[in-house]
Amino acid sequence: MGLDTVALFARTSGSADRPPLLLLHGLLGSGRNWQTAAADLAATGRSIHALDLRNHGKSPWHPVMNYEAMAADVLAWLDARNLGPVELMGHSMGGKVAMLLATRHPGRFRRLIVVDIAPKSYLSHGHRAEFAALNELRLDTLQSRGEAEMKLEGRVPDWGMRKFLTTNLERDDAGAWRWTVNLPVLTAALPELEANSLDPAASYRGPTLFVRGGKSRYITETDYTTITGIFPAARIATIATAGHNPHMETRAEFSAEVSCFLTGD
């Protein structure tokens, strides 16, 4: 793609009997978000690689933060290991990266799984309140994650979201708190990250599974026509009791749905 790439950090588990499965996390997440689901999916007899996308987790920081760059990083990671074709799953922002990769390079991906995100713009679903709260947090006076959660409460009323956001805090060697995400770059990139990642003529005809949370507003029934127009082989599965993070909130049902799809050769 002609872009500067970064060497992505990956958490690898499982065996290599079947084609590898790549996992891409959402905004402000990391490969750790897949830890328990990855253990379930490894039982399908494949190696699982949960990547940290640029400016997240243990992967390098870079001033460029867009879908083209993230997709280029993933391709470079695959090329460095001579892997392919592989199976690909992405959640939320990672699902947008996965859709871009599959539609641009269909021969490199055997199957596609997209978790609770649709091929559209999410300008009204943004994370502006969460990012405002994170940017207001004074790390130089912070004593604990618990204190951080308390300070976020005014802008982020959901307890689970506050817990999730503060997983991006860690202490440095001197004991001071720091972000594990590149907060300034991600904040500036929000308009681009909320936009649709796909080209107008995008298409992927390979086996595709969309998993949506029944309690989430990220995929609605009005999106089904758009999804099947771009991904004609797509099946859409709803986990009724899940919100935006079915791989964490309803792990057993999510893993069963994805495992069935992966083993349906």
Name the residue type at position 100: L
pLDDT over threshold 80, residue 92: yes
| 265 pLDDT above the threshold of 80 | no
- DSSP structure string for 96-118: HHHHHHHHH-GGGEEEEEEES--
pLDDT value for 2: 58
Q: For the segment 42-88, what is each residue's pLDDT rounded down to a tens digit? A: 998 999 999 999 999 999 999 999 999 999 999 999 999 999 899 99
pLDDT at 3: 78
> Domain limits of the chain?
9-120+196-262, 128-188
Residue 85: cis peptide before it, omega within 30 degrees of 0: yes
Decide: pTM greater than 0.75.
yes
Higher pLDDT, 15 or 170: 170
Torsion sign, CA atoms 237, 239, 243, 246: negative
pLDDT tens profile 249-263: 999 999 999 999 999
Residue-wise pLDDT tens digits, 192-243: 999 999 999 999 999 999 999 999 999 999 999 999 999 999 999 999 999 9
pLDDT (0 to 100) of residue 15? 84
CATH number for the domain formed by residue range(s) 9-120+196-262: 3.40.50.1820
d(CA 96, CA 194): 10
- pLDDT band at 1, cuts 50/70/90? very low
- Furthest-apart CA atoms within the chain: distance in Å: 55
Q: What are phi and psi of 177, to 5 degrees?
A: -80, 145
- Please state which of the ranges 61-70, 92-101, 113-122, 151-160 shows the lowest mean pLDDT: 151-160
Closest among 15, 19, 8, 14 to 37, alpha carbons compared? 14
The whole-number average pLDDT for the span 152-159 is 91
Give the C-alpha separation, 44 to 15, whole Å: 9
Spatial separation of the C-alpha atoms in residues 146 and 152, rounded to whole Å:
10
Compute the average pLDDT of residues 99-110.
Answer: 98
pLDDT score for 16: 77
pLDDT score of 124: 63
* Residue from 42, 73, 43 nearest 59 by CA: 73
| pLDDT over 90 percentage in the chain | 91
Helices and strands of the chain, counted as H and E runs: 10, 9
